[in-house]
């Protein structure tokens, strides 16, 4: 193991003293960085508190809505009864009706193709309002015509006309 020479020890000592002097001169800069760090930390804590308050308010609103919302729709019992008696058709076969819309239709009392085929124009408008559909959607998508074909068992004709 080699030993340091006298010149190397002198240079090392000078670097040490120079570093110590620079550290003393920059003490005010250290305070500036500490202040900036504290300000950033305070801003972060304020942001976090605000975010937690917004989350708590949102959770409270969700709980309030859940307290006032019915557990099931008004027509759910009749829809389940129709399904148990085998008088419920698969309304999703009608183009424009998905599973969620079918469930809402069943809760509204429409559980078969015949129910949809028998709708009058005023019944259509009322049903669209009840389901939250755009006005005229039932007519545009020809739900009544599709339901009439499917109710009569004309599946091929329905498939050809409505895909």
Residue 119 CA from chain centroid, whole number: 34
Quick one: which of 113, 108, 153 has its CA closest to 131? 108
* Domain assignment present for 134: yes
DSSP state letters, 75-144 = THHHHHHHHHTT----GGGSTT--HHHHHHHHHTT--SHHHHHT--HHHHHHHHHHHTPPTTHHHHTTHH
Q: What is the pLDDT of residue 85?
A: 58
Residues 47 and 115 in one domain: no
Total domains in the chain come to: 2
pLDDT in tens, the chain (163 residues): 578 899 999 999 999 999 988 877 776 666 777 888 999 999 999 999 999 999 999 999 888 887 876 555 555 555 555 555 556 788 888 998 888 888 888 888 888 888 888 988 888 888 888 888 888 898 999 889 988 998 888 888 888 887 7
Residues 138 and 99 in one domain: yes
Residues 42 and 80 in one domain: no
For tokens 């989350």, name the residue: 55
* Domain assignment present for 20: no
Q: What is the pLDDT of residue 79?
A: 55
Q: What is the pLDDT of residue 60?
A: 92
Helix count and strand count (H, E) for the chain? 9, 0
Residues 81 and 62 in one domain: no
Residues 59 and 87 in one domain: no
* Domain assignment present for 3: no
Domain residues for the domain of 60 are 35-69
Q: What is the pLDDT of residue 76?
A: 57
Q: Under 8 Å CB-to-CB from 76, ≥6 apart: which residues?
A: 106, 107
Q: Encode 56-81: b = buried (16+ Cβ within 10 Å), e = exposed.
A: eeeeeeeeeeeeeeeeeeebeeebee
* Domain assignment present for 23: no
Residues 109 and 50 in one domain: no
**Could you give the CA distance from residue 131 to residue 57 in angstroms, rounded to a whole number?**
29
Q: What is the pLDDT of residue 59?
A: 92
Residues 106 and 157 in one domain: yes
Write down which residue in 26, 47, 69 finishes a domain. Answer: 69
**Could you give the CA distance from residue 53 to residue 59 in angstroms, rounded to a whole number?**
10
Q: How far is CA 13 from CA 21, 24, 154, in A?
A: 12, 17, 101
Residues 41 and 63 in one domain: yes
pTM, rounded to two decimals: 0.49
Q: What is the pLDDT of residue 74?
A: 53
Write down which residue in 50, 69, 88 finishes a domain. Answer: 69
Q: What is the pLDDT of residue 81?
A: 58
Residues 108 and 134 in one domain: yes
């Amino acid at each position: 193991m080699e030993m340091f020479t006298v010149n190397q020890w002198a240079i090392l000592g000078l670097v040490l003293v120079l570093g110590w002097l620079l550290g003393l001169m920059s003490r005010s800069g250290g305070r500036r960085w500490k202040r900036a760090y504290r300000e950033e930390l305070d801003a972060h804590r304020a942001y976090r508190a605000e975010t937690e308050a917004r989350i708590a308010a949102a959770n409270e609103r969700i709980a309030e809505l859940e307290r006032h919302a019915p557990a099931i729709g008004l027509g759910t019992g009749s829809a389940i009864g129709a399904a148990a008696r085998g008088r419920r058709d698969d309304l999703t076969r009608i183009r424009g009706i998905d599973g969620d819309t079918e469930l809402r239709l069943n809760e509204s009392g429409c559980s078969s193709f015949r129910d949809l085929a028998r709708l009058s124009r005023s019944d259509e408008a009322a049903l669209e309002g009840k389901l939250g559909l755009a006005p005229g959607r039932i007519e545009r998508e020809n739900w009544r015509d599709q339901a009439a074909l499917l109710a009569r068992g004309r599946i091929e004709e329905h498939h050809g006309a409505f895909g």
